[in-house]
Structure 1
């Protein structure tokens, strides 16, 4: 796409928006119901696991709307961005560089220790360029993504066209059906995700280090149990009339028999 470096600003002032999210998402895939990744970890939406703080088991066999998937992706991505701002603290970066670094971190979780970041901050641009590609392009399947992140960070070249790969089917063993891939446009959903304030409830403290507002829960998942009214609870302990009769009639007959025989 067109080379658009943009103005460099303090890293702490850059926020995640739909353009940034689209760039990250363009390298990922979305699956609307829970599946198992290559090592058997429960995963959902755009590669999200319970480590985000949002429990994904609730979506086993329950595909969600594309909007819900993008809402939670936007929420999680915003939390991951904190580590990127921390890594570039005290430095000015462009929005393109922020997006590239966030994509790298979403994929590797290594923005805080990557050598290319340290080299760039030290002004060793040429060495940083080489380090990003040479040290972070394994396995081979990731090389294309890393090259795009490299081109975005160092040359300001955005690569996403507003679409993501979606796998529409999950097998009985909970692995994706790779033959079900299709390209879907998620531009509208991500714009909507960043245009509203989400006030959801958390399952647990989030990871990585994010004090999170909250992601929305699936509408199909109950929140708190409905209390049983006292009257209803009491009714459940009442014996039916026939049970009372069955209990007391034998006792009454026993007393009557004892009284009768005593008379003799």
Structure 2
């Protein structure tokens, strides 16, 4: 078993500060991938074309400026505008008002971030029977909600109760306590993909 402490200590020294939890998870994932451990991901899962298209459709790559670069924007459904978002739905401590990226930066961040969501879903599903379309729908759901670890639909899926799991998508339509039309439509598309054989 690799002792990760020296790695984390060195990076902490380079940064001149401690880590936030997202950074710990990402650094752990990078170490796992370099060792061929794939962060505990079960099986050879990859996001399929249908999942990528679904996520990119709903996340969009909005707020394109006249110079063809993209600027960050506040969450349209939250009371305080947080989290600030850019590109294909990217959020994090490095994204705040005034952040500007090129298309290449938006694409690269999506490619980097989606790995963690794929691994999270694979880890939570374990060895449960799962089709590619179910997996893609669950990655889209997790990318938007971050809730694959706590959602009832994950538990139902692991139990093979797919019809009940599909119905759970429709419960995740709220932002700041308000139902959102965009979330209703996205959850409906995720549920439809989940049910497609």
| Superposed CA RMSD | 2.4
Q: Matches of 1:114 and 1:19 in 2, distance apart? A: 22
Residue of structure 1 aligned with 2:172, choices 117, 123, 136: 136
Residue of structure 1 aligned with 2:189, choices 119, 131, 148: 148
Change (3 A) 1:26 1:144: same
Q: Matches of 1:37 and 1:140 in 2, distance apart? A: 12
Change (3 A) 1:84 1:37: same
Change (3 A) 1:17 1:147: closer
Query: Could you list the per-position Cα deviations for residues 8-36 of structure 1 after superposition, in whole angstroms to 9, with x for gaps in the alignment?
Result: xx952112355532221111122311233
Deviation at 1:128, TM superposition (A): 2.1
Q: Gaps (5+ residues) in structure 1?
A: 1-9, 157-264
Deviation at 1:127, TM superposition (A): 2.2
Change (3 A) 1:94 1:11: farther
What is the TM-score with the length of structure 2 in the denominator?
0.62
8 Å CA contact 1:11, 1:91 repeated in 2: no
Looking at secondary structure, tell me which structure has more helix per residue.
2
Q: Matches of 1:66 and 1:90 in 2, distance apart? A: 37
Q: Matches of 1:20 and 1:95 in 2, distance apart? A: 9
Q: Matches of 2:85 and 2:168 in 1, distance apart? A: 30
Residue 44 (structure 1) aligned with residue 80 (structure 2): no
Looking at secondary structure, tell me which structure has more strand per residue.
1
Query: Could you list the per-position Cα deviations for residues 15-66 of structure 1 after superposition, in whole angstroms to 9, with x for gaps in the alignment?
Result: 2355532221111122311233342333221222225xxx234x8264x332
Q: Matches of 2:102 and 2:57 in 1, distance apart? A: 18
8 Å CA contact 1:44, 1:56 repeated in 2: yes
Q: Matches of 2:90 and 2:123 in 1, distance apart? A: 22
